[in-house]
């Protein structure tokens, strides 16, 4: 599953561990209630866990995403410390020069937006050609430059991310990623993320 | 995969996410070196990561184990904070009354060992029958009583666990679990845990 | 500050870092609003952070406690992974033989309670005298045996602990520790933990 | 204690919890060896902990730093997940427009370096004046723009940071911060960070 986000980004669900069944398995371990499992009672159990804030069983459900987003979005993202990030490094890689641009900029601003980026990426190339290291030359690159990383995160930490980043108070750009992710994980673990979504209402 | 450990315990690999390929994928993201992948260079890359202590790419490789072990072993285990535990609770479940006994106890000690456990479990039953709550009655249960939990852990945290718990300075009982686990994960990610094992020598 | 808890336990606030001022300092950094500080607005700010679930600034406020509690309480405690534990080890130390006993046990149960503990601690001594290692002999010790540990924890993680462990659904024994801790930290950071306490109502 | 770092940055030790004594206190708890404390044996104990990798007792020693550094340095910094960050937000604050410039740039590059930054900050002001939100306008700001944050971190996590970021393989810019920090914490906990420094050799 892969979704395009913003003008040049994407998020892709690469692989995952567990599912609704893993959540139920782990929760029932606590009460040794494996024999009480049924479609109906499992669903009720997951809703109960969500509503009571019993988060541990959701840690058995783990996702790896491939993310491409502007660096300023990545900075918000990586403030979430319970999860793993493997990111492309501008110490070793030359930027591909893709940059974020908001939709519907007024014409004048749109023109300046492109111009300042083109000028900056030109300067970056010039600095590299004239012997500056990649790790120093990147100092001039815009925060809207796209970066790529893999993110491995369990469902408990992911729900915390989604709650904060789908919120109206969050920035529009990261909200777009959060909604795209929710759509994907609802297909993998429909009861868990269905209950989660209801809990936000 | 499942292995019996100690007199009544076991460890079972329930499911896992990723493998050697996920480690390589995440590491190559950093250098954007996906096109340099080959069997030989991937193997060298993993050895390089292990030897240099670059741990992050191993976090894309995640395991869930089903563990049955004495409570005193579980206490050592759960000091490892980077990982998830869903454990049977003696607040809600009556103990099944299985207890650890070291091999080769001298006859006299062996007899006392069984006697003190039988007496204790008898008292536990007596307390429950006489109205004490499970959560209080367990106060008398021995630290060698077996418990069960699911453990979800990434390969970086697991290697730290194995390094400390396979060490000669670790207690014999938890070492038995650590060696059993290493055998299992070597089948799932042979390059990673082969390199890890070499690094211990 | 030190409080006795249960029949033979205690919790003591050994030292701490920061206070309400540190929370305000860290929160105002986010908005660069240091110049808007006043007694009234700082108080409102902390209430706002608590009510909105903005937890990060509370991580600048850190406590170290000295805890003595039954092992079954310590097991619940150490499930809280964001914090540091340095615990007395029964691999290296001989137990001091103190054990938990609930208040107001019926006379018959009370007598059996003492008897099973005395018998067990006698056996433990006997095993040690007859050459069993401390780390193996402890296998028979009751879960109600007292243990001691230092706990270093930030205020955000502590509030999560208190919320879960002061809850009516938590076990009576750990609730007693949680309430004792709340009393202490309210003296250190009265606005923060006052707002926290209100938020529970 | 405060040190200037790079062309416009700094790091300041704001406050701390514990010291060498707290490390010794926590380590001795494990062995119940408080009565064996002496200046000589405490020093040996700390060296032993460092050399054996027994990290937990160092978590009782916690520092809060005030850091001002380029955003690309902050990005490396915040990959260290065991610690707390409260950072100035460019969603709410207008940048102060300070930017990193390496020492000893060739004259031609130096001139272009200033020019691209001035042009960019001009455009940023222009965008704000023409109704773009701060959170979107920052998209064009350079990665070398200075940011400010408070960092609360325990000594175990700090030693991991220092080991990786003082290393010759680390980027020059973050190394300058790491060395400045080591100088400061050596004054607070001379035995701990003296032993740490020796262990790197």
Whether C171 is covered by a domain: the verdict is: yes
Instruction: Decide: helix, strand or coil at residue B64.
Output: strand
Residue A70 clears pLDDT 90, i.e. is over it = yes
Q: What are phi and psi of B116, to 5 degrees?
A: -65, -35
pLDDT average, residue stretch C22-30: 97
pLDDT by residue, tens only, chain B of 201 residues: 999 999 999 999 999 999 999 999 999 999 999 988 899 999 999 999 999 999 999 999 999 999 999 999 999 999 999 999 999 999 999 999 999 999 999 999 999 999 999 999 999 999 999 999 999 999 999 999 999 999 999 999 999 999 999 999 999 999 999 999 999 999 999 999 999 999 998
Round to whole Å and give the CA distance between A21 and D30: 40
Q: How far is CA A49 from the centre of its chain?
A: 24
Over 90: is that where the pLDDT of A125 sits?
yes
Same domain, A73 and A164: yes
CB contact under 8 A, A18 and B18: no
- Asked if A179 is an interface residue toward chain B (Cβ–Cβ < 8 A), one would say no
Residues of D noted as catalytic: 165
Mean pLDDT of C174-181: 98
Determine which one of A36, A115, A165, A175 is catalytic.
A165
- Closest of C161, C163, B123, C76 to residue A30, by C-alpha: C76
Residues A40, A67 share a domain: yes
Residues 6+ apart with CB under 8 A from A69: A5, A6, A9, A11, A77, A146, A147, A173, A174, A177
Q: Tokens representing C6? A: 């249960």
Contacts of A116 in chain D (CB under 8 A): 119-120, 123, 140
Q: Quick check: A59 and B89 CB within 8 A?
A: no
**D6 inside 8 A of chain C by CB:** no
Residue B6 sits in a domain whose CATH number is 3.30.1360.170
DSSP H helices in chain D: 20-31, 39-52, 71-77, 107-129, 134-137, 155-165, 172-188, 190-200
Chain A residues within an 8 Å CB radius of D119: 116, 119
| pLDDT(C163) > 90 | yes
Output the DSSP codes for D79-121.
Answer: T--SSEEEE--TTTS-----B---TT--HHHHHHHHHHHHHHH
The yes-or-no verdict on residue C76 having pLDDT over 90 is yes
Q: Which residue, among D16, D22, D26, would best test binding to C if mutated, counting the most C CBs under 10 Å from its CB?
A: D26
Distance set, CA A113 to CA A9, C172, C181, C196, D132 (Å) = 18, 62, 55, 45, 11
C132 and C73 share one domain: no
Measured between beta carbons, which residues in chain A are less than 8 angstroms from residue D93?
Answer: none
Question: Is the pLDDT higher at C35 or at A26?
Answer: A26
C96 domain residue, yes or no: no
Looking at every residue in chain A, the average pLDDT score rounds to 97
At A201 the pLDDT is 85
Return the pLDDT at D201.
85
CA angle D142, D148, D154 (to 5 degrees): 125
B77 and B123, same domain (yes or no): no
Model confidence pLDDT, tens digit, residues B12-55: 999 999 999 999 999 999 999 998 889 999 999 999 999 999 99
pLDDT at C165: 98
B167 and B72 in one domain?
Answer: yes
Report the pLDDT value the prediction gives residue D132, as an integer from 0 to 100.
97
Q: What's the pLDDT at D159?
A: 98
Residue B142: strand pairing partners = C142
Measured between CB atoms, does C17 come within 8 Å of chain D? yes
The pLDDT, as a whole number, for residue B201 is 85
- pLDDT by residue (tens digit) across C90-125? 999 999 999 999 999 999 999 999 999 999 999 999
pLDDT digits (tens, 9 = 90+) for D90-123: 999 999 999 999 999 999 999 999 999 999 999 9
Residue A96 lies in a domain: no
On whether both B66 and B152 belong to a single domain, the answer is yes
Q: Does D127 share its domain with D161?
A: no
Q: Do A138 and D72 touch (CB under 8 A)?
A: yes
Q: What is the 3-state secondary structure (H, E, C) of B123-190?
A: HHHHHHHCCCCHHHHHHHCECCEEEEEEEEEEHHHHHHHHHHHCCCCCCHHHHHHHHHHHHHHHHHCH
Specify which residues D12 forms β-bridges with: D2, D66
From residue B76, give the alpha-carbon distance in Å to each of B70, B71, B79, D52: 10, 9, 6, 18
Tell me if A157 is assigned to some domain.
yes
Neighbouring CB atoms inside 10 A of C5's CB total 21
Residue of B nearest to C71 (CA): B139
The answer to whether position D96 is within a domain reads no
Diameter of chain C by CA atoms? 70
The helices-and-strands tally (H runs, E runs) of chain B is 8, 5
How many whole angstroms separate alpha carbon B65 and alpha carbon B51?
26
Residue C201 has pLDDT above 90, yes or no: no
From the list B26, B150, B154, which residue is nearest A86 (CB)? B26
Q: What parts of chain D have a pLDDT lower than 70?
A: none
Question: Is C134 found in the same domain as C169?
Answer: no
Please spell the DSSP secondary structure of B42-60, one letter per residue: HHHHHHHHHHHT--GGGGG
Residues B6 and B68 in one domain: yes
Is position C100 within any domain? no
In this structure, what token pair is assigned to residue B34?
């996906």
CB C87 within 8 A of CB C101: no
Domain count, chain C: 2
* Residue B61 vs residues B157, B201, C191: alpha-carbon distances, Å: 10, 23, 43
Average pLDDT over residues A179-201: 97
Which position among B2, B29, B75, B165 bears the catalytic label?
A: B165
Average per-residue pLDDT in chain C?
A: 97
**Is C150 part of the contact surface with chain B (CB cutoff 8 Å)?**
no
- Determine, yes or no, domain membership for A94: no
Residue C99 inside a domain? The answer is no
Co-location of D131 and D156 in the same domain: no
Put simply, whether D22 touches C (Cβ < 8 Å) is yes
Nearest residue in C to D86, CA atom: C26
CA distance C117 to chain B (A): 7
pLDDT for residue D21: 97
A100 touches chain D (CB under 8 A): yes
Domain extent, residue C120, equals: 107-140
Is there a single domain that holds both residue A64 and residue A132? no
Could you tell me if D74 lies within 8 Å of chain C, comparing CB atoms?
no
CA C106 to chain centre: 29
């Amino acid at each position: 599953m892969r979704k395009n986000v913003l003008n040049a980004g994407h998020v892709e669900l690469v692989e995952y561990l567990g599912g609704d069944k893993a959540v139920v398995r782990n929760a029932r371990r606590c009460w040794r209630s494996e024999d009480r499992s049924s479609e109906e009672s499992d669903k009720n159990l997951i809703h109960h866990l969500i509503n009571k804030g019993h988060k541990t069983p959701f840690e058995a459900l783990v996702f790896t995403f491939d993310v491409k987003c502007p660096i300023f979005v990545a900075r918000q993202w990586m403030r979430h410390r319970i999860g793993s990030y493997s990111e492309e490094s501008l110490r070793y890689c030359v930027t591909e020069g893709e940059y974020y641009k908001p939709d519907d900029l007024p014409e004048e601003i749109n023109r300046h937006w492109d111009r300042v980026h083109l000028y900056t990426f030109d300067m970056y190339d010039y600095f590299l050609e004239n012997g500056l290291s990649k790790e120093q030359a990147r100092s001039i690159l815009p925060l809207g430059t796209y970066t790529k990383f893999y993110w491995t995160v369990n469902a408990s930490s992911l729900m915390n991310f989604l709650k904060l980043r789908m919120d109206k108070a969050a920035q529009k750009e990261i909200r777009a990623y959060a909604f795209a992710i929710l759509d994907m994980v609802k297909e993998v673990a429909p009861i868990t993320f269905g209950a989660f979504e209801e809990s936000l209402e």
